[in-house]
Each structure stands twice: as structure tokens, then as C-alpha cells.
Amino acid sequence: MARTAVVAGVGPGLGESIARKFASEGCNVGLFARSDEYLGELAGELHAETAGDAAAVPTDITDESQVESAFERVRETFGPVDVLVNHAGGGGWSGLRESSAEEFEDAWRSCAYGAFLCSKRAVSDMVDGDGGTVIFTGATSAVRGRGGAAGFSSAKFAVRGLAESMARELGPKGVHVAHAVIDGQILTPDAREQADGRSEDTFLDPDAIAESYWHLVEQDRTAWTLELDLRPAVEEF
């Protein structure tokens, strides 16, 4: 039976690569993001080109009622959720003195609070079923606070703490929880345009990251990864 996966925070770059990889492996994928038009186009492509299927589910993951409705739509379309990728995040790229309270809270909501809401909805299916996988997209700032990024760093630390807590709580119930530290810049379409002669070897390839995420889904439960640290072989200082 095909797995049902939800990717929360789909956009050009890693989110799209994850969705494409999972659909190519036969998963039925619920695509969560705020962009209605983009999601619809991507869902159509995955339906036509991969072994799996996809549903565009426009969702503000910081809104609890929207998250609840989104998961109900995925269940009605594909069945109980087996895999969740908490990939949404951003904001908070300023220092303490420059950050507003609103900016700080927005970063936390998009990174940590949204992941909390999505995890609550997905994990119930996994515990009641045959288990499942929850993957969090982290960042260097999740393990080493970045100067001039008070909101983002705090939010990513919160995400890492949530992942570690969930792993210890839910592992015995058959739910694999993993946190991926993305230690470098991902080669998104925007990053490619702005590279300005910088070698692509200094970026992380989003398709390669997606392959690593799929490996987490496929891992035997006797040897689960809690934290995966990914970085390019060539670092640019």
C-alpha cells in the first residue's frame, strides 16, 4: 500500500525536491504552503510524471484550524498520514536590537509553532497505525546561534528541541523522528541566479538532500537516525 506523506512548507528548492522524491517512490503527497497557484501546478506535474500522486492543500501552518482542515483533506484523499516533513520556516534575520517583537514571534510561529501543529495532527495516525516518520528541516542556527539572526536562531533551536523531545516520546510507539541540520546554503533557483561566479559545489543540492530524507523514511527501526548533519564537501568562507 502506498504511503501517505505530507510536506509542510513546499516551495521552489528543497520543499519541491522532497515532494518530487517521495512521489517518485510511490508516495501520495499532500503539499502544504500558502501559494495556491504554485501548489496546483506542482501537484499536476507529480500526478502526471511520478509513480505516486499529489494534492495541493493551500495552508497557513500557523493557523490551527487551517492545519486541522488540511490534514482532514489529505486523509479523505489518500488515507492516514505515514510521513510528515516539517519544512516550513524563515524570518527573523536581524539582531536583537533591530528585531521587533512581531518579527521574533513570526519566526517562531513559522518554524516551531507550525511544526508543532502539523506534528500533533500527523502523529495520531502513525501511533494508531503501523508507525511512521516525522522529519524536521533544521539549520546551522539550530546548533550554533547566528549573530544578527535572533529570531531565526531562537526558532530553529526550538524546532530542534521539539524534535528531540518527540523522538524520545514517540520512538517506543513506532514513530521515527529525525532532525536534519542543513549546514550550508541550498541551491534554490534564487540562489543559482545570485551565485555570482560561486561554484555550485559550495551549495547543497536540494535533490541530494531529498535523497537523504527518503533514506530516513526507509531506515530499519533498530538503527534510526535522530540527527542528520548535511553540508557541501566544499565550504566557502
Alpha-carbon Rg for the chain, nearest whole angstrom, is: 17
Instruction: Compute the residue count for the chain.
Output: 237
Number of separate domains in the chain: 1
Tell me, yes or no, whether 237 lies in a domain.
no
pLDDT per residue, tens digit, the chain (237 aa), is: 899 999 999 999 999 999 999 999 999 999 999 988 999 999 999 999 999 999 999 999 999 999 999 999 999 999 999 999 999 988 767 898 999 999 999 999 999 999 999 999 999 999 999 999 999 999 999 999 888 789 999 999 999 999 999 999 999 999 999 999 999 988 888 878 777 778 888 899 999 999 999 999 999 999 999 999 999 988 764
d(CA 236, CA 37): 36
Tell me, yes or no, whether 236 lies in a domain.
no
User: The domain containing residue 97 runs over which residues?
Assistant: 4-230
Tell me, yes or no, whether 132 lies in a domain.
yes
Write down the pLDDT at residue 153: 93
Tell me, yes or no, whether 152 lies in a domain.
yes
The string over 126-148, giving b where at least 16 C-beta atoms fall within 10 Å of a residue's C-beta and e elsewhere, is: beeeeebbbbbbbbbbbbeeeee
Tell me, yes or no, whether 85 lies in a domain.
yes
Tell me, yes or no, whether 58 lies in a domain.
yes
Q: Which phi and psi (to 5°) does residue 93 adopt?
A: -95, 60
Tell me, yes or no, whether 235 lies in a domain.
no
Write down the pLDDT at residue 237: 46
In this structure, are residues 162 and 116 in contact, taking their beta carbons and an 8 Å threshold?
Answer: yes
CATH code of the domain in which 140 resides: 3.40.50.720
In this structure, are residues 58 and 37 in contact, taking their beta carbons and an 8 Å threshold?
Answer: no
Write down the pLDDT at residue 236: 62
Write down the pLDDT at residue 195: 72
Tell me, yes or no, whether 73 lies in a domain.
yes
